[in-house]
Amino acid sequence: MRGSYVVCVYCTVPAPPSHEAIDRRRCAKDLQQVRQNFVQRLKKPDALTMLQEEFSLTEKEAEIIFELFDKDQNCELSLWEFQQFYTTVGANAHEMIDSFHKLEKDHSGTIDIEQAWDTLRKMKTEEGNQLRDEDIEMLLKTTAGEEKVITLPKFINLMCRLKVYRS
């Protein structure tokens, strides 16, 4: 009985939970424990090592990738988070980072909108279509923000959103 109360002479006290309610809570708790035990997660140090070894990333690049894909910011890379990384970046991680560094001519850690614009004009979508100027403008505005520069994490995020290949 949900929300039932025991009336006392001095006060109103919530009734103790029914056996059914206790069983539901116990079941939910057990299910949560099973999920935690069987859902694979990599702690941050292990995830960084894996990203460096399997995807040929530097320590700094692996850190950037980890921060981008640790969506719940719990310092673990869950199976779901890894799948997000692998389906959007995956084996192309090193190539994507190299593309950024080629655009970043002054080694400042940023590229400006003009550099990115020229690059995006040469790219095509997965369907083989060239990006429209309006689309490029919207993507760059949302990526670069008011600073009008694109950092490596922002660049990777942009490329993930585009899912493009070079023409």
What is the 3-state secondary structure of the chain? CCCCEEECCCCEEECCCCHHHHHHHHHHHHHHHHHHHHCCEEEHHHHHHHHHHHHCCCHHHHHHHHHHHCCCCCCEEEHHHHHHHHHHCHHHHHHHHHHHHHHCCCCCCEEEHHHHHHHHHHEECCCCCECCHHHHHHHHHHHHHHHCEEEHHHHHHHHHHHCCEEC
Which amino acid is located at 98 in the chain? Answer: D
Q: What is the pLDDT of residues 25-50, one digit of tens each?
A: 766 665 565 556 555 788 999 999 99
Ranking 29-38, 42-51, 100-109, 129-138 by mean pLDDT, the lowest is 29-38
The Cα 160–Cα 64 span in angstroms is 14
Instruction: Give the residue from 30, 58, 91 where a domain finishes.
Output: 91
Q: Identify whether 153 is part of a domain.
A: yes
Inter-axis angle of helices 44-55 and 59-69, nearest 10: 120
Number of residues written out for the chain: 167
Q: Indicate if the alpha-carbon torsion angle 133, 139, 143, 146 is positive or negative.
A: positive
pLDDT value for 7: 45
Q: Identify whether 66 is part of a domain.
A: yes
How many folded domains does the chain comprise?
Answer: 2
Q: Identify whether 21 is part of a domain.
A: no
Q: Tell whether 86 and 100 lie within a shared domain.
A: no
Cα Dmax for the chain: 81
Q: What is the CATH number of the domain that holds 97?
A: 1.10.238.10
Q: Identify whether 76 is part of a domain.
A: yes
Determine the structural domain holding residue 145 and report its residue range. 92-165
Q: What is the mean pLDDT of residues 42-71?
A: 93
Q: What is the mean pLDDT of residues 10-33?
A: 59
Q: What is the mean pLDDT of residues 15-27?
A: 62
Ranking 33-42, 52-61, 142-151 by mean pLDDT, the lowest is 33-42
Average pLDDT, the chain: 79
Tokens 């950037």 label which residue?
64
Q: Identify whether 17 is part of a domain.
A: no
Percent of the chain with pLDDT over 90: 25
pLDDT value for 145: 85
Instruction: Give the residue from 76, 91, 106 where a domain finishes.
Output: 91
Q: Tell whether 77 and 138 lie within a shared domain.
A: no
pLDDT value for 9: 46
pLDDT value for 38: 55
